Amino acid sequence: MLEARTAVKSLHAYRPPLAGRQGLRLDFNESTIGCSPRVLARLRSLDAEVLARYPEREPMERHAADFLGLNAAQVLLTNGVDEAIHLLCSTYLEPGDEAIIVVPTFALYAIFAQAEGARVIEVLSDENFAFPLEGLLSRISQRTRLIAVANPNNPTGAAVAGEMLLRVARAAPQAAVLVDEAYVEFHGETILDSGGLPANLFVARTFSKAYGLAGLRIGIFAGDAGQMAMVRRVASPYNVNAVALAALPEALRDQEYVEHYVAEVRRGREMLERELSRLGLHYWPSRANFVLVRIGAAHAEFVQALRTRGILVRDRSSDRSSDERCEGCVRLTVGSEEHTRTLIGALRDVVERLRERREVRA
């Protein structure tokens, strides 16, 4: 019988819903209004020739590098941040190596690290999901070869100061340190502004969130030129498709569109957080386009009640976190103002009904 590798057989399956997401989708932190009309116009102008040819990534890498103020050799375009994580694990992890993550966090760091046979070390975030700098530093060893941090973090929305990430990178020169900036636009601060980044530090960006292009699967992966040359060795030369590459320059050019959406999300985030306070629900202030809120024992019912009203949100109760800190928690994506108002209206109604039945904590 054909057997998968032991490391693969012992993986926990990560199963986000891949079908049936009809309604107002506030469950995956996507944009609720989609991409810039200029990007759409570019996509509509594509002809058969673009699709007939293998995609040419390099010219677009120069665009992406210019945008970030880097050299092309420091940048690799990827099939979303997901692929960047995968490539980083393939490039640096040997079986038995250690990969450190701060939990709760994005599921794919642990999955891709374990698939390489690495041992994942989970460092619990501090109270209120603050970055556990000392805890993390104390777990670094000679076997540490990867440290992955989402900034801001998913699902908590907590951000960490660039200075702390630099301390981590300097404390573990033998490890690849990934700073996943999937939500950077909503936060407004990037490690790239720190200047003189250590050679073991990598930054991943995506077009899936603020740019409204999750379906295209494109991201920017940046790091030291010498290290990126190694990462490039394990990447397919055609990892990013021609349609995504064609959209990239227009997406980067129309910053006004992105800024407008980001401003809406920030206003919506405040509005939602105010409403959660008013409803007496505990939430964690967020720097991203989502808010994590504690619903309590009725979390599944809460998610279902919103679904009945046409709104999808994400139950985070099952998040891998040794002390079950996400127990009873639900993550709500913040979209356009109109969509956030719709969410707030439904929230009031659902919370009131559950309270009548004493199922949601005050």
Ligand X SMILES: Cc1ncc(COP(=O)(O)O)c(C=O)c1O
Distance in Å, CB of 52 to ligand X, minimum:
27
Distance in Å, CB of 79 to ligand X, minimum:
7
Question: In the stretch 85-124, what mask flags binding to ligand X with x, by CB under 6 A?
Answer: ---------------------x------------------
Q: Could you tell me how far CA 329 lies from the centroid of its own chain?
A: 18
Strand partners, 100: 121, 147
Closer residue to ligand X (CB): 180 or 319 = 180
Q: Which stretch binds ligand X (CB under 6 A): 5-13, 75-83, 117-125, 167-175?
A: 75-83
Q: Which stretch binds ligand X (CB under 6 A): 63-71, 74-82, 314-322, 332-340?
A: 74-82
Residues 229-248 touching ligand X, rule: CB under 6 A, are: none
Q: Within 10 Å of residue 216's Cβ, how many Cβ atoms?
A: 24
Q: Could you tell me how far CA 194 lies from the centroid of its own chain?
A: 21
> Sheet holding 219-222: strands in order across?
75-78, 219-222, 201-206, 176-180, 144-150, 98-103, 119-124
Element (H, E) at 180: strand 176-180
If binding is defined by CB under 6 A, does position 212 make contact with ligand X? no
Residue count, binding to ligand X (CB under 6 A): 13
If binding is defined by CB under 6 A, does position 208 make contact with ligand X? yes
| Separation between Cα atoms, residue 270 and residue 356, nearest integer Å | 27
Q: Which stretch binds ligand X (CB under 6 A): 3-11, 78-86, 132-140, 272-280?
A: 78-86
Residues 300-359 touching ligand X, rule: CB under 6 A, are: none
- Residue 179 sits at the vertex; the CA angle it makes with 205 and 175, to the nearest 5 degrees, is 130
Distance in Å, CB of 6 to ligand X, minimum:
27
Distance in Å, CB of 81 to ligand X, minimum:
4
- Torsional sign, CA 155, 158, 159, 163: negative
Classify each residue of 225-259 as buried b or exposed e, where b means 16 or more C-beta atoms within 10 Å of its C-beta.
Answer: eebbeebeeebeeebbbbbbbbbbbbbbebeebbe
In the list 26, 77, 80, 286, the residue contacting ligand X (rule: CB under 6 A) is 80
User: Which has the closest alpha carbon to 224: 184, 206, 197?
Assistant: 197
Q: Which stretch binds ligand X (CB under 6 A): 77-85, 89-97, 267-275, 312-320?
A: 77-85
In the list 61, 97, 98, 180, the residue contacting ligand X (rule: CB under 6 A) is 180
| Separation between Cα atoms, residue 95 and residue 124, nearest integer Å | 24
Distance in Å, CB of 108 to ligand X, minimum:
7
If binding is defined by CB under 6 A, does position 213 make contact with ligand X? no
Residues 139-158 touching ligand X, rule: CB under 6 A, are: 150, 154
In the list 27, 61, 82, 254, the residue contacting ligand X (rule: CB under 6 A) is 82
Burial status of residue 296 (CB atoms within 10 A of its CB: 0-12, 13-18, 19 or more): middle
Q: Which residues are CB-contacts of 281 (< 8 A; sequence separation ≥ 6)?
A: 293, 294, 295, 351, 360, 361
Which residues of the shown chain bind ligand X in the complex (CB under 6 A)? 29, 80-82, 106, 150, 154, 180, 182, 206, 208, 214, 219
